[in-house]
Structure 1
């Protein structure tokens, strides 16, 4: 069940939780020291409420990110750094981080702090109060906002999230965002495949299949610092983002694409065939006067309409055939999707039992 509701900062009475702050880093030598210190300054204010750790995944950085992270970890007892020898992209970095986090809850945060650290407590409060498996920080829901995001980037992001909202069973506003809170128990039983940014919608998709509880809170995505650095989004990257978004949406609900196309083609074919019949019956009385019988009159009427508008018959016939094909594919993909969901649910149960057996 998916819920979206306004933020409530009241923390219920409970035992002290261990929270893991997970942040992937790739070529972030210029900002990692400042960002880590900012996180520490904020989390120290919450030490009466939570025990916590910071887990940094150096994702094969080519600059001094790894070295600087190691130096920071030597001076901070609750900071750990995991290194990738090569860049494994966001999906790979998150999967590595999930395996190494020890907290009851895992908070994923951008190392550039485009979502300020105060989102950590907001995510935790919502997760604890609602017993959610996932809490998403959403700049696109009511109460959220964005600041100084490059136009192309924001346009692409909003379009992709609108598409995913249409195809997903989860009623969320942000599917591609990385900043979230997770129950570690939920992550331990989740088998992930994606190595790219599509890992974020993949998690939502699989959480829906497992009927996990997902919440969403308003957030502020602030690019004020990033906007000072000149960056250009290439046409290839934009096209790649659009293609990835379409494929992710297709995986969410493939039958929606087929049935939508089939529905549009059905409407076109009904309109064209309807036009043919209207014009046929419009000229039928005049032709019937000289015809032997009704059958001949009707045939001559159709032939007259065909001579006048032959392409109408072609368009009506082709669109009708294509509509039936796409609708058939839609029903088949719906059946396949349900089979996949059941198999994934069964596989996840086996995976969970295997993990529990290893722990015991």
Structure 2
């Protein structure tokens, strides 16, 4: 299958599959089920406790109200917690198949006690990413594909998270600079948090990054802390997890569809008195393709300017 026919075929199939992305999950366990302790992180988390839950969630979620502590999070993850792992993918044809297969192999080990699903959220690709994503989804029971209409990394994640029925919503960058094991550490952080983020900038983090990326990251976060008051060391790490209930409270208030989605998510969670856990992880930039999703010299200045717009939006 090639060319425009392949694209049209994939687009039709993905549109059908959009209705079914997370419905293969088994039912959520009852509240009185016997809990299972979550996996421990390889290093202690840096937690920002912004609020405590004191009442059940409201029918109409508000970003100003705290999130209810679900029993499976308060006492430990139960066996049938459902996890949706979104992989935003635009023009990733060179690596998406290999990386999804690698992620599946790892997930079968680290998430063996839970129901999990990988969602390839493709949007705006001009290569064969959509076709590859649909082929993987057709042949692998734990993989689904979405052809997302929203542009940008954030748009793909937002659309996939909005459609999900899982208890835990997560995402990883398509290059798998952080793998399933690191995501497992991050998800374990949800035992005491509403939002858990991987961090490359804590003392116990183990990042492999080029000097220029370290410098750009340091400058970005110094500016971000001043402009939008984010209470974390690393807002932009492509390894995050969130309780579905917390996302439902924030979803309608998120406006960024690009790479600043991460920073806005943290800033709004902080302002909503949600608890944020920052988890040190192993990060390997060597897994990135030569072109990279974020071209430092072309995109960094856009992100810095975008912070000014985010500051205005948060007022």
Q: Which residue is equivalent to 1:195? A: 257
> Alpha carbons of 1:201 and 1:57: their partners in 2 closer, same or farther (altered >3 Å)?
same
Q: Which residue is equivalent to 1:38? A: 102
Q: Which residue is equivalent to 2:147? A: 83
- In 1, Cα distance between equivalents of 2:120 and 2:298: 30
Deviations 1:166-214 (A, max 9, x none): 4454431011223211001111222121121111111112112211111
Give the one of 174, 187, 198 matched to 2:234.
Answer: 174
Give the one of 167, 190, 199 matched to 1:127.
Answer: 190
- In 2, Cα distance between equivalents of 1:225 and 1:17: 30
Deviations 1:282-319 (A, max 9, x none): xxxxxxxxxxxxxxxxxxxxxxxxxxxxxxxxxxxxxx
- Structure 2-normalised TM-score? 0.69
* 1:49 match: secondary structure: coil
* 1:107 match: secondary structure: strand
Unaligned runs of 5+ in 2: 1-42, 47-74
Post-superposition offset of 1:14: 3.1
Post-superposition offset of 1:125: 1.3
- In 2, Cα distance between equivalents of 1:239 and 1:48: 42
Asked if structure 2 preserves the Cα contact closer than 8 Å seen for 1:24 and 1:90, the reply is: yes
Unaligned runs of 5+ in 1: 253-336, 338-360
Greater than 6 Å deviation, 4+ residue runs: none
Q: Tell me if 1:142 matches 2:180.
A: no
Asked if structure 1 preserves the Cα contact closer than 8 Å seen for 2:228 and 2:307, the reply is: no
Q: Tell me if 1:225 matches 2:263.
A: no
- In 2, Cα distance between equivalents of 1:106 and 1:117: 14
Deviations 1:70-112 (A, max 9, x none): 1111111221111036x70112111111112221001110111
Mean CA deviation greater in 39-48 or 241-250:
241-250
- In 2, Cα distance between equivalents of 1:230 and 1:168: 26
- In 2, Cα distance between equivalents of 1:120 and 1:232: 21
Deviations 1:116-163 (A, max 9, x none): 2211210121112x1x110010001121132133x4333222211122
RCO higher in 1 or 2 (8 Å CA, sep ≥ 6)? 2
Asked if structure 2 preserves the Cα contact closer than 8 Å seen for 1:115 and 1:221, the reply is: yes
Asked if structure 1 preserves the Cα contact closer than 8 Å seen for 2:154 and 2:256, the reply is: yes
- Give the count of matched residue pairs: 243
Q: Tell me if 1:158 matches 2:196.
A: no
Q: Tell me if 1:96 matches 2:169.
A: no
- In 2, Cα distance between equivalents of 1:59 and 1:118: 26
Q: Which residue is equivalent to 1:107? A: 170
Asked if structure 2 preserves the Cα contact closer than 8 Å seen for 1:160 and 1:245, the reply is: no
* 1:33 match: secondary structure: helix
Q: Which has the larger radius of gyration?
A: 1
Asked if structure 1 preserves the Cα contact closer than 8 Å seen for 2:121 and 2:145, the reply is: yes
Asked if structure 2 preserves the Cα contact closer than 8 Å seen for 1:164 and 1:249, the reply is: no
> Alpha carbons of 1:210 and 1:177: their partners in 2 closer, same or farther (altered >3 Å)?
same
Deviations 1:221-264 (A, max 9, x none): 21113275699957553432332244445656xxxxxxxxxxxx
Asked if structure 1 preserves the Cα contact closer than 8 Å seen for 2:111 and 2:184, the reply is: no
- In 1, Cα distance between equivalents of 2:184 and 2:302: 34
- Structure 1-normalised TM-score? 0.61
* 2:137 match: secondary structure: helix
- In 1, Cα distance between equivalents of 2:121 and 2:109: 24
Structure ranking higher in helix proportion: 1
Give the one of 230, 243, 252 matched to 1:183.
Answer: 243
> Alpha carbons of 1:230 and 1:46: their partners in 2 closer, same or farther (altered >3 Å)?
closer
Give the one of 118, 123, 127 matched to 1:54.
Answer: 118
- In 1, Cα distance between equivalents of 2:292 and 2:313: 35
